[in-house]
């Protein structure tokens, strides 16, 4: 990918969004194309985050959001255009696997792909959600040998639980619907418990992987964390708002907290590194994601 300069201009939009200063990269015939495939994608922070990261690294690349309903057609487009790399989000993380040439063993074990890398026409699938969560947690605690409570039993719980088990944490799955929780726990080699048992089990780490607390229901908490040991590290994968009610209550109980934006940025940085072979600037990506969240403002209800 050719290096090139980017520049900043003030950008005023037609709709009533405040003027913001943004960096743009000049686009030409050698610009590499990246993007996110999902439905919906109107709330995606990927374009804000990755375009700033490309610009900061001096890479001739752009990243766009594509609302994809025809996944087969979109994946044919990745080959045909060709696109250099794609982020995959809801609802395509599992179905995308059938359109790839190769799947990384970790993504295969998790059962979902959130990153596609196009290596000269060979489409390779990865999952950076697990890595992103472990990196984010690692800012506050080394999970090896610790007891980690994972709340929820969906795709995010599976990716995070898988990563934690693999590095040697003792994983406890807590879920509203016991059957779903038990199934996930069994497949990960973890234990299942009801939500009411959380504080009594004195976990070192607690991670909310459910959407509870996401705007606009900002006051909702999947479980009250006030009974947790103050030494616990509490993480939420919800990043809008950045400080959820769950994290606020955990902080008030004396726990250290890791917000969902930190995980989002780490999984994005892992994507950037897979695509470009270069280290991403976490600071640039976090600032850009925060700016993206502010811009989305009241429109962000995903
Ligand atoms: P993803 O794949 O994105 O992780 P998902 O498959 O929809 O999302 O899973 C969401 C998880 O959040 C599920 O475990 C769900 O619990 P159930 O298995 O009981 O449905 C959990 N969840 C969602 N809303 C919840 C709520 N209000 N209270 C408790 N758990 C909730």
Residues 109, 244: contact at Cβ < 8 Å? no
Q: Say whether pTM exceeds 0.85.
A: yes
- Asked whether 152 lines ligand 1 (CB < 6 A), one says yes
Is residue 153 lining ligand 1, measured as CB closer than 6 Å? yes
Residue in 210, 218, 245 to alter for ligand 1 test, most ligand atoms within 8 A of Cβ: 210
Provide the pLDDT for residue 13. Answer: 46
Q: Across the strands, what pairs with 216?
A: none
40 preceded by cis ω (within 30°)? yes
CA 50 to centroid of ligand 1, rounded, Å: 28
Does the domain at 7-127+264-296 match CATH 3.40.50.720? Answer given as: no
CA distance linking residue 172 with residue 152, whole number of Å: 10
Q: What is the pLDDT of residue 1?
A: 55
The response to whether residue 180 sits with its C-beta less than 6 Å from ligand 1 reads yes
Q: Tell me, what's the pLDDT at 8?
A: 52
Enzyme catalytic residues: 93
- Report pLDDT for 10: 45
User: What pLDDT score does 26 carry?
Assistant: 85
Predicted pLDDT at 302: 35
Whose C-alpha lies nearest to ligand 1, atom 23? 210
Q: Which of 221, 214, 190, 187 is nearest to 203 (CA)?
A: 190
CATH of domain 131-258: 3.40.50.720
Q: Is the CB of 222 under 6 A from ligand 1?
A: yes
Instruction: Identify the pLDDT of residue 2.
Output: 52
**For the chain, what are the domain ranges?**
7-127+264-296, 131-258
Residue with CA closest to ligand 1 atom 18? 177
How far is Cα 244 from Cα 220, in angstroms, rounded to an integer? Answer: 9
The CB of 209 under 6 Å from ligand 1? The reply is: yes
Q: Tokens 């900061």 belong to which residue?
A: 56
Which residues does the chain have with pLDDT short of 70? 1-25, 298-302
pLDDT score recorded for residue 293: 92
- Residue of 90, 110, 150, 175 best suited for mutating to test ligand 1, as the one with most atoms within 8 Å of CB: 175
**Nearby residues of 161 by Cβ (< 8 Å), 6 or more positions away:** 150, 171, 173, 184, 188, 190
Measured in Å, residue 270 CA sits from the centre of ligand 1 at 25
Coil, helix or strand for 140? coil
Does this chain's domain 7-127+264-296 share its CATH topology with 131-258? yes
Q: What is the pLDDT of residue 300?
A: 47
- The answer to whether 291 and 159 have CB atoms below 8 angstroms apart is no
Q: Is 218 in the pocket of ligand 1 (CB under 6 A)?
A: no
Q: How much is the pLDDT for 295?
A: 86
């Amino acid at each position: 990918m050719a290096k090139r300069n980017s520049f900043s201009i003030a950008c005023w939009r037609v709709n009533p969004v405040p003027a913001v200063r943004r960096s743009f990269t000049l686009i030409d015939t050698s610009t590499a194309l990246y993007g996110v495939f999902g439905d919906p994608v109107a709330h995606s922070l990927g374009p804000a985050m990755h375009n700033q990261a490309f610009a900061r690294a001096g890479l001739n690349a752009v990243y766009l959001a594509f609302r994809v309903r025809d996944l087969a057609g979109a994946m044919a487009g990745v080959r045909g255009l060709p696109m250099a790399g794609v982020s995959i989000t809801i609802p395509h993380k599992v179905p995308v696997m059938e359109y790839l040439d190769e799947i990384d063993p970790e993504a295969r074990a998790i059962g979902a792909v959130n990153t596609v890398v196009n290596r000269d026409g060979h489409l390779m699938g990865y999952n950076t959600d697990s890595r992103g969560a472990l990196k984010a947690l690692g800012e506050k605690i080394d999970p090896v040998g610790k007891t980690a409570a994972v709340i929820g039993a969906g795709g995010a719980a599976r990716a995070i639980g898988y990563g934690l088990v693999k590095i040697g944490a003792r994983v406890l799955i807590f879920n509203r619907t016991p059957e779903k929780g038990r199934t996930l726990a069994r497949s990960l080699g973890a234990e299942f418990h009801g939500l009411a048992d959380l504080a009594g089990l004195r976990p070192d780490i607690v991670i909310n992987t459910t959407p509870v607390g996401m705007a606009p229901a900002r006051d909702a908490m999947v479980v009250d964390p006030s009974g947790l040991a103050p030494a616990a590290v509490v993480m939420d994968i919800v990043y809008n708002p950045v400080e959820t009610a769950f994290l606020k209550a955990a902080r008030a109980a004396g726990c250290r907290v890791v917000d969902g934006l930190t995980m989002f940025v780490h999984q994005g940085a892992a994507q950037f590194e897979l695509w470009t072979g270069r280290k991403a600037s976490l600071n640039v990506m976090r600032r850009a994601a925060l700016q993206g969240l502010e811009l989305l403002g009241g429109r962000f209800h995903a």
